[in-house]
A and B are shown apart, each in its own frame.
Chain A
Amino acid sequence: MSSAIAVQASEPDNYYGYRSFKKGKFEFSRDEYFVRVKWPKGSHLMAADVFLRALQRDVAWNFFYGTVNFDHVFGTLNHYGTVDMFAGRYNDAYRNAGLDYVETYDSDELMATFKAILEDWTNKGYDPFAAPEETANPYGRKDGSNVAAITRQRVTAQRMVGCAGDTPIRTDQNGYPVNRHFADVPQDQPQIHAEPGFEDEVRAFNLFGYLSRSDVTWNPSVCSVVRESLYCPTSEEFILPVEHGNDRVEWFLQMSDEITWVVKDKETGAPRCNVTMRAGDIAAMPADIRHQGYSAKRSMLLVWENNSGKIPALIAEGKAPVTPVKF
């Protein structure tokens, strides 16, 4: 349980063993298969794996950029210091029926509740960061925990992975074996020939090899930085656990294999298109959509973000376009 900020949690259920949680007027409970979210105007069921995979991302990404939809009903919207938790806000049917509901919290306070839920509801052997074939299922009554899996530190390079004093490259020795789906990815490092005194500036690393050793899925992590331009490559397998409604344009460069993106309207959830990307394809995700990716084989994706704090307001006020280029 989070100690710094008070979390409203019940005693463990006599039968299922899980605690229930409250935050504002939201209530969270789970049984062997499902999570139930309740709010003053309604309630909603999600499969436990769907909820936990999404929750893991929202926690690891500190509520990320924009809207993190756990599914078509429930999610969060980041205001960077405060955060909305909503039900039905970005669902046309709920909105039209007046059944949507939003509460706003201090980010740290909601994070404390989310971390407590994630810790209590993740059983031993289940890793919400893993692809389904790589982990046990999350179902059943409470059975132990997996704190190590849910508290991984997100990689955030300051300049570039492998630079002096920066995030190190991944090796067998430091606990990052090659993933089974990337067994054929070459592991050779660049040949670096630095003149004496210039070792800190003559730097390179095998990014594809680095990604082949990622032990998580759908977890963009900063590998190189140009001012506010962040390269956040990630390895992807199965389904992105959230429908991401970014508050800015983001870009994808597919570096290996294939992902299909199901794209819907950010506000209403109405389908807009399906974007299939194969190795070498690069595409923008506009700021007025939400996207969810499907990757049958573990693939390498470069997620490119502009980290400027000014963008959400510019887009929300109509002062910046929702698409990056007009032609």
Chain B
Amino acid sequence: MTDVKTVFGSLNSYQKGGIQIIRDDPKNYVFSNVFEVASKAGPYERVAVGKNFEYVIECVRAEGTSPWFTCDHDEFALVMDGSVEVRLQKLGAAQAAPSGGDGAIVVKGEPGGPKMGRIVCGRGHMALLPKGAAYQFHADKPSVVTIQTVHGPLTIERWAEICETKST
């Protein structure tokens, strides 16, 4: 099928769906759009767009260079739009996130350990952010990343601002 067209959204072009209510409340569906959320967010704010008990999906507007983050569990970054470089480096002494802790923290200072490598991700690419490593994002142009993680100190919740409240 040479004329097939798979539609992906982007910061510059997305079309939200909606909720047609019969007997319900739109708020029950916590409905938002990652491109819309990222378009209104500051660079590297980690805005929750999904939450299930302690677990979250964070939406990030990747623009420029982020702080160094680290986490005591794996996280996974999925690029939904644009191009993002993920830089990985080992931590130095006393830089690790609390053992057993939830979610990412900002690393104090520059990571003190050896460089692990870097990954350049385009749309649709998922990168492992391994437990115990420091990671930094860089995007030359505004891009959108979603992160599979646990609710932590950096998770921002602004549901009333981002979610649909009306029936279409």
A associates with B? yes
Is A202 within 8 A of B116, CB to CB?
Answer: yes
Please name the residue on chain B nearest to A191 by beta carbon.
B120
CB contact under 8 A between A258 and B117, given known A278-B17, A327-B159: no
Smallest beta-carbon distance A225→chain B, Å: 8
Compute how far the CA of A186 lies from the CA of B16 in the bound complex, rounded to whole angstroms.
Answer: 23
* Interface stretch of the complex, out of A82-90, A117-125, A142-150, A279-287: A279-287
Q: Is the CB of B17 within 8 A of A203?
A: no
Q: Are A224 and B76 in contact (CB under 8 A)?
A: yes
Known: A198-B88, A272-B22. A324 touches B119 (CB 8 A): no
| Chain B residue with the shortest CB-CB distance to A231 | B148
Given A279-B7, A281-B33, A286-B29: A198 touches B126 (CB 8 Å cut-off): no
Confirm or deny: B36 has a beta carbon within 8 angstroms of a beta carbon on chain A: yes
- Give bound CA distance, A201 to B90, whole Å: 11
Interchain CB contact (< 8 A) of A184 among B5, B35, B49 = B5
CB of A308 closer than 8 Å to a CB of B: yes
Given the contacts A226-B55, A304-B50, A204 and B22 also touching, CB distance less than 8 Å: no
Cβ < 8 Å to B, chain A residues 169-215: 180-186, 188-195, 198, 201-209, 212
Q: What's the Cα separation between A63 and B90 when bound, in Å?
A: 42
Stretch of B62-70, B91-99, B127-135 at the chain-chain interface: B127-135
The residue of chain B having its C-beta at the shortest distance from the C-beta of A228 within the complex is B55
Chain B interface size, as a band, is 35 or more
Cα of A270 to Cα of B23 in the assembled complex, Å: 9
Q: Given that A203-B128, A227-B150 are contacting pairs, would A304 and B52 also be in contact in the complex, using a CB cutoff of 8 Å?
A: yes
Among residues of A, the one whose C-beta sits closest to the C-beta of B123 is A208
Q: Residues of B contacting A297 with CB < 8 Å?
A: 4, 6
Which B residues lie within 8 Å of A279 (CB)?
A: 7-9, 14-15
Of A194, A204, A324, the residue contacting B126 (CB under 8 A) is: A204
Residue in A180, A189, A192, A311 whose CB lies within 8 Å of B4:
A180
| Min CB–CB distance B45 → chain A (angstroms) | 16
Instruction: Give chain B interface residues in 79-123, CB to chain A under 8 Å.
Output: 80, 86, 88, 114-123
In the bound complex, do residue B117 and residue A190 qualify as a contact, i.e. CB atoms below 8 Å apart? no
CB contacts (< 8 Å) of B51 on chain A: these are: 324-325
Q: Given the complex of chains A and B, what is the CA–CA distance between A304 and B149 in angstroms?
A: 12
Q: A203 near B127 (CB under 8 angstroms)?
A: yes
**B-contacting 9-mer, from A97-105, A107-115, A248-256:** A248-256
A201–B133 touching, CB < 8 Å: yes
Q: Which A residues are in CB contact (< 8 Å) with B55? A: 226-229, 306
Q: How far, in angstroms, from A248 to B57 measured CA to CA in the complex?
A: 17
Name the distance in Å between B84's Cβ and chain A's nearest Cβ: 10
- Inter-subunit contact B1/A181 (CB<8 Å): yes
The residues of B that contact A68 with a CB separation of less than 8 Å are none
User: Are A209 and B57 in contact (CB-based, < 8 A)?
Assistant: no
Q: Which residues of A contact B155 (CB under 8 A)?
A: none
Are B73 and A280 neighbours in the complex by a CB distance under 8 Å? no
A313 near B: Cβ within 8 Å? Answer: no
Known: A190-B121, A190-B125. A276 touches B17 (CB 8 A): yes
Q: Which residues of A contact B (CB under 8 A)?
A: 159-161, 163, 180-186, 188-195, 198, 201-209, 212, 223-229, 231, 248-251, 253-258, 260, 263, 270-286, 297, 304-306, 308, 311, 320, 323-327
Beyond the given A160-B74, A248-B52, could you list 15 further A-B residue pairs with CB under 8 A, ordered by the A residue number? A159-B128, A160-B126, A193-B120, A195-B116, A206-B124, A208-B123, A208-B125, A224-B126, A257-B7, A280-B36, A280-B80, A311-B53, A323-B27, A323-B28, A323-B30
Q: B-side interface residues toward A, CB under 8 Å? A: 1-2, 4-9, 14-24, 26-36, 49-53, 55, 57, 73-76, 78, 80, 86, 88, 114-128, 130, 133, 146, 148-150, 157, 159-160, 163, 167-168
Task: Return the 10 tightest CB-CB contacts between A and B, nearest first.
Answer: A208-B124, A280-B9, A276-B17, A279-B9, A194-B117, A327-B159, A202-B117, A204-B127, A229-B55, A191-B120
